[in-house]
Chain A
Amino acid sequence: MSNLGTAGAKRSSRHLLRANAWFVFAFLYVPIVVLVIFSFNDSERVNVWQGLSPRWYGEALGNTQVVSALRVSLIVAVTSTVVSTVLGTAVALALDRYRFKGRRALDGTVYLPIVIPDITMAVMLLVFFAEAFKLIDVIGPRLTLGVTTITLSHIAFNISFVAVVVRARLDQFDRTLEEAARDLYATPWRTFRRVTLPLIAPGIAAGALLALTLSLDDVVISAFTAGPGATTLPVYVFSSIRQGVTPELNAISTLMLAASITLVVASLALQRPRSTTP
């Protein structure tokens, strides 16, 4: 092959790669752009464009079912985030620094909820709750699926995600800083509060934001563990879709998209290694 031919091949492969990149980009983002544009559609019907208007955002927020689902979503998300952040951080710390019986087993299984398919997890939890209720019903009042069961389920999978993120931060943590604090008269607890906690805080915050996002976005597990009285926003959207896509759903989806992107970007920003200047 002549030099000219090689150069030509190089040029055309570069063009191909660039085209491919644009194609992938479009494939990922065109649907999102379409969704956002159509959420501002003034028309009653999704597929007829009638001009820009925030009308459906107003309609969505005026819909009592939407508002009540949003309320449930927020309660579940905030509660499960707080609880799973505390427990997940504790698990990460225990795995990072203590040698105890069953540590290896816990180390191997704590991340399982991340890889278990959502549907399996959902069925698992549903069966668990049903069996647990049978036992509790014997001694106490009848329990049903609802906000509590959704929250417990979200805590169950969020612990794993928080533990993973916090542990990554702990891996970079220099333990001699704790020794220095101990040497400077700090008790173990004050060492944790004044040195360890502030330094792993970005990891904990990133884990918490991830947990919040996952909880707000979850459909499958929430759908299985939700009761008649309580639905989360994603579950509401999913069940409404069966009656056809409405511009109102477009508006709700766009709002959820905005919330998710904000949380994920914030989480990634916190996970970035500390820069050298404060």
Chain B
Amino acid sequence: MSADVPAVEMHGISKRFGEVAAVDGVDLQIGDGEFFALLGPSGCGKTTTLRMIAGLDIPSEGRLAIFGEEVASWPPDRRPVNTVFQAYALFPHMTVAQNIAFGLQMRGIRGPDADRQVAEATALVQLEGMEHRRPSQLSGGQQQRVALARALVNHPKVLLLDEPLGALDLKLRQEMQVELKALQREVGITFVFVTHDQEEALAMSDRVGVMSEGRLLQVGTPAEVYEHPASRFVADFIGRTNLLEGVTESPSAMRLNAGAVVAAANELPPGSPAALSVRPEQVRLHRRGEAPEGTPCLDGVITDATYLGHAFVYMIAIGPNADAGGSGAGDPAPTITARSETGSTALDAGERVTVSWLPASTTVVAD
């Protein structure tokens, strides 16, 4: 396999179930050896996309190639990919070793050769000593490892993982994130990972594809997607953000509904409704009037201060009516969330402040 042939290549892939398009015109290239995360809320089509790569669903239209081979119409047993299923789908009537050996057997690999490969895979996921247990005798984390070993023993060209950590508790999930990433580096296989957990996607993957309602909205490295979301949905879904509504004035400025004209680089025609995405950790707090000259700023009143140990989270009512009390009658004043390290001076609710940010740390997003 040459380096410039993508592991997975999709062109105009759609999948319709009756009238509903679960996946709608997805174009995507996943590189050899990449750890790629498909991220999106439930029902966004990410699992269907994964199932089409596996061959468990056949695309309604579009082209799908795995390492240059057109596989769209191939049955799953002919595809050089393996899947770790969401609830693991281990065979309950087989032992751990029999589960792991299944794929080898189906390809006609038996005897000492198969035994050696099963032993290697068992060692890879640290399940030595569990070979003769049944899946029902294992913990969730152990079952997960069996599912991984059962797939990896076949040395697939692409490993597909459908929310593999979803069924584990938080602590185990975080351990497995680190372990899975290390495992991927070790085996060098392309991983396509489906998740609805944006932190998991950012933490583990080389690149992220964000999906919503069957469409692939943005593909990029975790930093690109987090720092420069291409749309309102992506900005809101990846991490927490403040979306300040307004209208663009020029390619470099935007009028916020909160009452200020601020520097904001954008490619929209002037007069387009848009939102300025400002991450909470990029928001700086100053006592009223002490904001540095030349940075975009807004006046506001702290309505809530939460101590989180490593940081403070402030809710600040902004806009013309903020001083009159953020939670007065009528329309509630827009609020902005700010996050600051604990080392800084603590501010209390009710304090009149000015918030500012660096224009380079913000992104203008349209609908």
Using a CB–CB cutoff of 8 Å, the interface residues on chain A facing chain B are 174, 176-177, 179-187, 190, 194-195, 198-199, 274, 276-278
A176 touches B154 (CB 8 A): no
Q: List A contacts of B312 (CB < 8 A).
A: none
A166 to chain B, nearest CB (A): 17
A176 touches B136 (CB 8 A): no
A176 touches B106 (CB 8 A): no
At the interface with chain A, which of B88-96, B296-304, B321-329, B337-345?
B88-96
Per the bound structure, the CA–CA distance linking A180 and B137 in Å amounts to 20
Q: List B contacts of A277 (CB < 8 A).
A: 134, 136-137
Q: List B contacts of A177 (CB < 8 A).
A: 89, 91-92
- Report the count of interface residues on B (CB-CB < 8 A): 26
Can you list 12 pairs linking A and B with CB atoms under 8 Å apart? A176-B85, A176-B87, A177-B92, A181-B102, A181-B106, A182-B76, A183-B55, A184-B77, A185-B106, A187-B77, A195-B91, A276-B137
B149-170: which residues lie under 8 A (CB-CB) from chain A?
Answer: 150-151, 154
Kindly state whether residue B56 has any CB partner on chain A within 8 Å: yes
Since A182-B76, A183-B54, A199-B93 are in contact, a sample of 17 more A-B pairs with Cβ atoms closer than 8 Å, ordered by chain A residue number, is: A177-B92, A179-B85, A180-B90, A183-B56, A183-B76, A183-B77, A184-B82, A184-B102, A185-B77, A185-B107, A186-B77, A186-B106, A194-B102, A276-B136, A277-B134, A277-B136, A277-B137
B93 touches A180 (CB 8 A): no
B110 to chain A, nearest CB (A): 13
Q: List A contacts of B335 (CB < 8 A).
A: none
B312 to chain A, nearest CB (A): 45
Smallest Cβ-Cβ distance to A175: which chain B residue: B89
B49-82: which residues lie under 8 A (CB-CB) from chain A?
Answer: 54-56, 75-77, 81-82
B89 touches A174 (CB 8 A): yes
B89 touches A198 (CB 8 A): no
Q: List A contacts of B92 (CB < 8 A).
A: 177, 199, 274
Q: How many A-B pairs fall under 8 Å by CB? A: 64
- Among B56, B107, B134, point to the contact of A179 (Cβ < 8 A): B56
Q: List B contacts of A181 (CB < 8 A).
A: 91, 102, 106
Kindly state whether residue B83 has any CB partner on chain A within 8 Å: yes
Kindly state whether residue B273 has any CB partner on chain A within 8 Å: no
Q: List A contacts of B91 (CB < 8 A).
A: 177, 180-181, 195
A174 to chain B, nearest CB (A): 7
A182 touches B56 (CB 8 A): yes
Per the bound structure, the CA–CA distance linking A276 and B133 in Å amounts to 12
B85 touches A184 (CB 8 A): no
B85 touches A198 (CB 8 A): no
Kindly state whether residue B103 has any CB partner on chain A within 8 Å: yes
- Among A174, A176, A184, A195, point to the contact of B103 (Cβ < 8 A): A184
Per the bound structure, the CA–CA distance linking A162 and B208 in Å amounts to 51
B26-46: which residues lie under 8 A (CB-CB) from chain A?
Answer: none
Q: List A contacts of B103 (CB < 8 A).
A: 184-185
A185 touches B154 (CB 8 A): yes
A-B CB proximity, top 4 nearest: A184-B103, A180-B89, A185-B106, A182-B76
Smallest Cβ-Cβ distance to A194: which chain B residue: B102
A273 to chain B, nearest CB (A): 12
B292 to chain A, nearest CB (A): 58
